[in-house]
Structure formats: C-alpha cells, structure tokens
A and B are shown apart, each in its own frame.
Chain A
Amino acid sequence: MGPDSAPGPAVPWRKVLWECQPFPDNYVDQRFLEELRRNEGIRQYRYWAVVKEAGFVGERLSCVAIFITIWLYIEEGLLSPETLLWTSLVCALLGYGLHQALTSQVESGCEPRTRLADLQSATIFLSFTFGFSPVLKTLTESVSTDTVYAMSAFMLLAHLVSFPYAHPSPPGSFSLNAALFASVCLASRLPGALHTFAMLSCALLVFALWPCLLQRLRENAPSQFTGVCVGVCIGGVGGLGSQWPGGAVLLALALWSVTLLCPLLLVKLQGQKDNIQGPWDEAEIHEDLSHF
C-alpha cells in the first residue's frame, strides 16, 4: 500500500484491484506490459492484388476522360448528336441485357426491380432531359466560358474524390450529383438543344449506369472485370490522345502513378509500421450493425 512501502512477501502479484495485495501502489511487476502487442493483425499486401484494386480508381479516372473526350468531339462538331444518341441507346440496351444476365446468374434475393420500373425510370430520364434541354442550353449563356470550365473541373474532381470505390453499386449521391452538375454545365455550352440532350444522356450512361454494371461484373466475373478496367483505361488515354495529346500524356501519368506507383509505395511502407496494441485500446465493432 502506498508508494515505496517495504517490499512484500513472496506472494505472486496479480493484476487485480479488488484484492489488497502486499505490494506498494507503484509496484512494477515483471508482468508489466506483458499484454502489449505490436502490429497485431497487420495485413500483408501483395503487390498485384493492390494494383488490381487500384485499377478501379484508374477506371473511374478514365471514364471521366472518356466523357470529356466525347464532349470535345461534339463541341468540335466531329460527332453529330444523332450518332451519339443512337450509340448511347445501343450501349444502354446492351448494358441492360448484360446486367440482367449477370443478375439472374446469382439470383440475388433482395427485391428485384421490375422491368416496368426500369422502363418508367428511363421514360422519366428521357422526358425530363428532353424537356429541359432548351432551358439548359440558355442557362450558362451569360456566364463566361472559363467559369463554366472551372466549375465543371471542380465538380468532376469532387466526383472522383467522393466516389464510393468500395461499394459503388448505388453510386454515392454526392459524387453522382457532382458529376451530373458538371455535365449539365458542360452540356449547356454546346450549340443546340439536341446536343445538350445527347450529352446529358451520355453523362447518365457514363456516371450513373456504368458503375452499376461494373459492380455486377466485379462480383460475378472478376477476371473479366480486370480486363474491362484495362480496356477502359486504354480507351480513355487513346480517346483523349486523339483530341488533346498533352492531356493524354497527363492522364497516362496519372493512371500509372495511381495504379502502379501508389500500390508499390503502400507495400514498401508497410514494413515501417509500428503499432502498439493492448487491453486499453478501444474495442472495434466488426459487425455491420446498420441493419438493426
């Protein structure tokens, strides 16, 4: 009792408080800190697995690049809105079919959307976009082009940053909204109402529907998923390169650093980790309690 009293008899010290033990209060047993553990449960990353995961980020980056490429083409007049619309329609139908096929494969139990609901959503998209496109076209008329570009760039960046890469299936509302806002801004600079309409439909495809399809692919066919990611990346670089070679180089650099360099750094720095754990740590809740 009390610090520095006479050393007690040879009763083994116990780490309990309810007993009056014959040891001073500041007694330090040899079992002191024996429960200290270092770097417990540390994950050893394998390089290529990390690269594969990071590939998804690169894929998003390339998607944005592809969208910008399409916009550049339309603005330059190299791509007519009709062509874009038809292509989008075909892509959408193909994607829808693929999506259905992948869904039926797993037979996921939770409330499957009916075809009717899908059709309804599509009608709403198309009618609203079509109805609003004349309004949208005049929307940013008086705003300077630089402002619009800056706003779009900022919003696309926000989309990339806030994109829920872990669970992309319902795209996070903020990231989707930011992307849509950016595409409305960009679309409103196009020359005609039909251009705007086509651009917005395309944006819907790229930002809203494509991530859903990709997630399905990731769940059900991981090997194809990697292929698709690589394909999208190549497509993004190539597409941008056809219009703006400097941008393509930048994109390639970004893709390289995101998919190859950052994982390498992560794996290398993992060895430096020194984490102390012990009974004082706040327990973590591993279960997903959100369903309660």
Chain B
Amino acid sequence: MVSDFFYPNMGGVESHIYQLSQCLIEKGHKVVIVTHAYGRRKGVRHLTNGLKVYYLPLQVMYNQSTATTCFHSLPLMRCVFVRERITVVHAHSSFSAMGHDALFHAKTMGLNTVFTDHSLFGFADVSSVLTNKLLTVSLCDTNHTVCVSYTSKENTVLRAALNPEIVSVIPNAVDPTDFTPDPSQRLDDRITIVVISRLVYRKGIDLLGGLIPELCLKHPDLHFLIGGEGPKRLVLEEVREKYQLHDRVRLLGALEHKDVRGVLVQGHIFLNTSLTEAFCMAILEGASCGLQVVSTRVGGIPEVLPEELITMCEPNVRALCAGLETVIARQRSGSVPSPASIHARVQNLYTWRNVAERTEKVYDRVAGEEVLPLDRRLRRLRAHCGPVAGSIFAFVAVLDFLFLLLLQWWVPDWVMDVAVDATGPHGLWRQVPSSKVGAHSKSAVK
C-alpha cells in the first residue's frame, strides 16, 4: 500500500490503510506499507502483527504530500518493490503524489496496480480541471480502482474518464468495539450536540457558526461540544464571543483518535455540517455511539446510513436548524430509540473484515490481468488522455522506463537482498500463530 498519508498523521485514509492491512495480514497476505518520512520517523518500522512500514526519505511539499518529479522516487520504490517481491501495488488517496508516483513506476516495472479514491472533486474551477487531468493520466493504465461510495464512483469515473466496469465500490468501515454507547455519560439537564471534524471550510464550519446562535437563543438548555482544530476555529470563537456562549459552546481542540469516543458518548445528537464528503466515517462513529445523527445531504452521505438512523438536511442554516429542531423535539419527548439499539443496528453494517474480503477479490482479479507492454501503454496513454497530455506523459513514461533500465543495469535485481517476510504465507512474525494461510500466495503492497 502506498500513500503519503499514514501514521503518525491521523485521518480517514490513514486508519483505512492500517485497518485494511491488518485484516489482510489476518487473511494470510503479505502487506507492506510505503509512505514518506515523518520528521525523525524514517526507515523501516514494524507495527502490530508484523505490518512493515517503509518511511522513505522524500521531500514533503505541501499538506504532507510529497513533491513529485515523476522520477526521483523510482530508485527507492524499485528497491522496495524488488526486495519485498511485490505483486500488486495499491495506492491510496488522490491527494497523495507518492501514490501516483508509485502507480506510474509500478506500471513501468510491470506490476499490477489498484487505486483507492477517498475524496470527491468538482469540475468547475481551474485547479480541479488540472487535478482531474492528472488523475486521468494516473488511472489510465491502473488495473482497478476502488471508491468508497457510489457517488464517489460516479465522480471518479467522470473525472478520470474510466470504464465503470473497473471501478468497484467498497465502503469504509468502523470498528464497532471502539465506539460503544454509554448513556450514563450524558447530562440529563441539557441536550448536547457533538460536532467532531477538522475546522475547515469544506466541513461547513461557517454553517455551524450560523446555526449555533440561532439554536442557542431558542433552546436555553442546548450545549455544543466541538472537537477538532483548523483555520475556521476563529469563526466559532467569534460567534462564541459575540453571543457570550462560553459556557454552552465548548471547543475541545484537536482530539486524538482514542479520545473521540469519550467525547461522543457525552452527547445526544451528532451533527455533521460537511459541504462535501465521499463517505462520512464521523457519522458512522456517532451512530455507533448511539447518538441521533443530523447531517447535510451531500456527497455519499445518503448512502451511508439507513433513513431511520439519520436526519438529513439541505446544506443551509435554515434547513439544518429545522432538522435539529425536530430531533431535539423527538429527544425531549423521548421518542428516540435507545443508544444500545442504535449501536446494535449499526455495528454489523460495516466491518473491516468485509472490506478486506472485498478488496481481496479485487486483488484476485487484478493479479490475473496482464500488464501492458511499453508500446501498448504509450498508445493507450495517447488515446486515453488526449493528444497533448497523452504525448507528454507518454514521453515521461519512456524516460521512466529508460531510467529503470539504467537502474537495472546499475544494480541488477538479482543483486538486491530479498527482505525477510514478516507477514504473508511465509511470514516469520509468530507472536500470534496465524491460523489461516490460504491459497493466496501473493503479496500486496498497499
């Protein structure tokens, strides 16, 4: 698995990669994660169950994403791919330059590739036009793409001009044991609304700032508990100062993943005001903790939870206020299902094991496919990505191939040490005796 985003960074992509890798290891696959060095964390690390992580010394450019020149990461990537005897390269997140690099190099080296897209993009402005073009190039000869929701699939198919047949939808999951309800933590003399998200524009913090005073004026027993950090924190602070709501709106700042549950169980209602969302894990966590979920109807959110568990509103202050009002009224009248029943309903909807099974099927399918030789790859690039971008990237692909030849001449593959398998069919990590070593003798690099 290759992505710029991995622990110690925290977020949806990071936990997705980690959980998926763990489940694949459990199923007897060899999994190696490749990411860039975070500060002093560089080199090779082993995580739980022998999950091997390469922190490559690549320069970070912006927002934890590495700078890319299409070439300079080839020697390192090749080294990892050859040493670990990789058969499938799986890149994550379209924001990760490293992931795209890995896809490109893997194709040059004749490996099969899979890509998982975690985000949605528009089509309207210049920057999205450019990113979409790059995605088209990057996914042009990727064997299979995974999206986290049907909306995300539609979006990716349109953006990268893909055949929808090679795009699978595999949702994210939540570990239900981490998010169990605990109604005793709630205070009965008030209704608490919990918001947990990064405080950025895309998460609709402006909407939140608009609805807080309106609702607080109407309901004197309403409290807000807001976890997360970001540039829009200022908006909330200003609202709090202006309406003197310091005792009713608490800003908790950045939360660690392990503290999230402790905050969630204190609330009655979970509010999500995102303006765009491919698959919202936050509402799943909120529902898993037994909270009433109120969310905006954007992106893939309508697909995530059945209607009885979520109240969806249009993304504007008035609709959100109205939605919250009905939920508050229901909460007051006591006509809401108990947290335990909500948890019971949610806990089996999404599991990482299911995700791993479905991903495994994708790998099975991909592993059987042939990798396009260089000439057909070039033709495909030209045909698929338009004459200008196609030609440019065909040229880049040729250069990459020549560079690979040079490297293979410089340090031939057979000279390289083969790494000891920590996980997989011949894995030497024996702390937990792996029970199931199936017929899958392939290894996957994610």
Asked whether any CB of A lies within 8 Å of a CB of B in the complex, the reply is: yes
Shortest B113–chain A CB gap in Å is 15
A283-B122 contact given A25-B168, A26-B165, A292-B210, CB 8 Å threshold = no
Using a Cβ–Cβ cut-off of 8 Å, how many residues does chain B contribute to the interface with A? 57
In the bound complex, how far is the Cα of B362 from the Cα of A1, in angstroms? 10
Mask for A253-271, Cβ within 8 A of B = 1, else 0? 0000000000000000000
In the bound complex, how far is the Cα of B298 from the Cα of A289, in angstroms? 20
**Which of the candidate stretches A15-23, A136-144, A211-219, A239-247 sits at the interface with the other chain?**
A15-23
Q: Which range contains the number of A residues in contact with the other chain?
A: 20 to 34
A282-B213 contact given A15-B150, A17-B169, CB 8 Å threshold = no
Q: Do the beta carbons of A17 and B149 come within 8 Å of each other?
A: yes
Q: Do the beta carbons of A26 and B164 come within 8 Å of each other?
A: yes
Q: Do the beta carbons of B317 and A289 come within 8 Å of each other?
A: yes
Shortest B158–chain A CB gap in Å is 6
Q: Do the beta carbons of A279 and B298 come within 8 Å of each other?
A: yes
Partner of B304, one of A17, A25, A35, A289: A17
Q: Do the beta carbons of B168 and A3 come within 8 Å of each other?
A: yes
- Contact partners of B299 in chain A: CB under 8 A: 279-280
Q: Which of B282-325 contact A (CB under 8 A)?
A: 296, 298-300, 302-306, 315-317
Tell me what chain A mostly uses at the interface: helix, strand, loop, or mixed: loop
Partner of B275, one of A5, A25, A285: A285
Q: Do the beta carbons of A287 and B361 come within 8 Å of each other?
A: no
Across the two chains, which residue of chain A brings its CB closest to B158? A276
B120 within 8 Å of A (CB atoms): yes
Q: Do the beta carbons of A278 and B154 come within 8 Å of each other?
A: yes
Across the two chains, which residue of chain A brings its CB closest to B122? A281
Shortest B293–chain A CB gap in Å is 13
In the bound complex, how far is the Cα of B339 from the Cα of A101, in angstroms? 64
- Contact partners of A292 in chain B: CB under 8 A: 209-210, 213, 235, 238-239, 242
Partner of B276, one of A5, A280, A287: A280
A36 within 8 Å of B (CB atoms): yes
Partner of B168, one of A26, A281, A287: A26
- Contact partners of A285 in chain B: CB under 8 A: 204, 206-207, 275, 315-316
Q: Which of A7-46 contact B (CB under 8 A)?
A: 15-18, 24-26, 28, 32-33, 35-36
A104 within 8 Å of B (CB atoms): no
Across the two chains, which residue of chain A brings its CB closest to B362? A3
A227 within 8 Å of B (CB atoms): no
B357 within 8 Å of A (CB atoms): yes
A112 within 8 Å of B (CB atoms): no
A282-B276 contact given A1-B358, A25-B361, CB 8 Å threshold = yes
Q: Do the beta carbons of A17 and B306 come within 8 Å of each other?
A: no
- Contact partners of B152 in chain A: CB under 8 A: 280
- Contact partners of A35 in chain B: CB under 8 A: 154
- Contact partners of B349 in chain A: CB under 8 A: 18
In the bound complex, how far is the Cα of B365 from the Cα of A280, in angstroms? 28
Q: How many interface contacts (CB-CB < 8 Å) are there between A and B?
A: 125
- Contact partners of B155 in chain A: CB under 8 A: 278, 280
In the bound complex, how far is the Cα of B125 from the Cα of A282, in angstroms? 12
B226 within 8 Å of A (CB atoms): no
Q: Which of B187-222 contact A (CB under 8 A)?
A: 202, 204, 206-207, 209-210, 213
Of the candidates A1, A25, A285, the one having the most CB atoms from chain B within 10 angstroms of its own CB is A25
B418 within 8 Å of A (CB atoms): no
Q: Do the beta carbons of A282 and B275 come within 8 Å of each other?
A: yes
In the bound complex, how far is the Cα of B128 from the Cα of A275, in angstroms? 13
Shortest A94–chain B CB gap in Å is 41
In the bound complex, how far is the Cα of B360 from the Cα of A5, in angstroms? 13
Q: Do the beta carbons of B149 and A3 come within 8 Å of each other?
A: no
Across the two chains, which residue of chain B brings its CB closest to A291? B210
Shortest A38–chain B CB gap in Å is 11
B397 within 8 Å of A (CB atoms): no
Q: Do the beta carbons of B365 and A4 come within 8 Å of each other?
A: yes
Across the two chains, which residue of chain B brings its CB closest to A16? B303
Mask for B114-142, Cβ within 8 A of A = 1, else 0? 00000011111000000000000000000
For the complex of A and B, the 10 pairs showing the least CB-CB separation, nearest first, are A2-B361, A283-B315, A25-B168, A280-B155, A280-B120, A282-B276, A283-B275, A26-B168, A17-B171, A28-B164
A-B contact list, 17 entries, CB within 8 Å: A1-B357, A2-B358, A2-B364, A24-B168, A26-B164, A26-B168, A32-B164, A278-B154, A278-B158, A279-B154, A281-B120, A283-B275, A285-B204, A285-B206, A285-B315, A289-B207, A289-B210
B: residues with CB less than 8 A from A are 120-124, 144, 149-152, 154-155, 157-158, 164-171, 202, 204, 206-207, 209-210, 213, 235, 238-239, 242, 275-276, 278-279, 296, 298-300, 302-306, 315-317, 349-350, 357-358, 361-362, 364-365
A: residues with CB less than 8 A from B are 1-5, 15-18, 24-26, 28, 32-33, 35-36, 275-287, 289, 292
Identify 14 new A-B residue pairs, CB closer than 8 A, beyond the known A280-B155, A289-B206.
A2-B168, A15-B303, A18-B306, A26-B165, A275-B124, A277-B123, A278-B155, A279-B151, A279-B298, A280-B276, A283-B315, A287-B210, A287-B316, A292-B242
